[in-house]
Amino acid sequence: SAVISQKPSRDICQRGTSLTIQCQVDSQVTMMFWYRQQPGQSLTLIATANQGSEATYESGFVIDKFPISRPNLTFSTLTVSNMSPEDSSIYLCSVVGGQETQYFGPGTRLLVL
């Protein structure tokens, strides 16, 4: 299985600021995704991080708010821009590994004050 790490593991931020979350995988993967998990809720897909091209966003998520980079097959970043308290969530990256199994990182716990 793929080993995924995320930085930071948690953060407390002031409204109006931005935070960039990093996702690192221990092997090259084709498919990488970013999800959001609001407090006490399930996971919602934000976007697909495409290597070498712009990310593909799901309905309700836009690039200006959640810019994503994917410079290579092992790394991606998600930025949460101009944060408000409603952005307080767990942000998770995931990858599709062998046998098409999707693995998740440990998550970044964000609290916006």
Partner 1 sequence: GESVGLHLPTLSVQEGDNSIINCAYSNSASDYFIWYKQESGKGPQFIIDIRSNMDKRQGQRVTVLLNKTVKHLSLQIAATQPGDSAVYFCAENGLRTDSWGKLQFGAGTQVVVTP
The residue ranges that bind partner 1 (CB under 8 A) are: 1, 4, 31, 33, 35, 41-45, 48, 58, 92, 94, 96, 100-107, 109
Residue (33 or 66) nearer to partner 1, CB:
33
Residue (1 or 84) nearer to partner 1, CB:
1
Taking the complex as a whole, how short is the minimal distance between the CB of residue 88 and partner 1, in angstroms?
Answer: 15
Show Cβ contacts of residue 109 under 8 Å, excluding neighbours closer than 6 positions: 9, 10, 11, 90
Cβ neighbours, 10 Å, residue 53 = 8
| Residue 55 exposure: Cα atoms within 13 Å on the Cβ side | 26
Residue (14 or 42) nearer to partner 1, CB:
42
Q: What is the DSSP letter of 83?
A: -
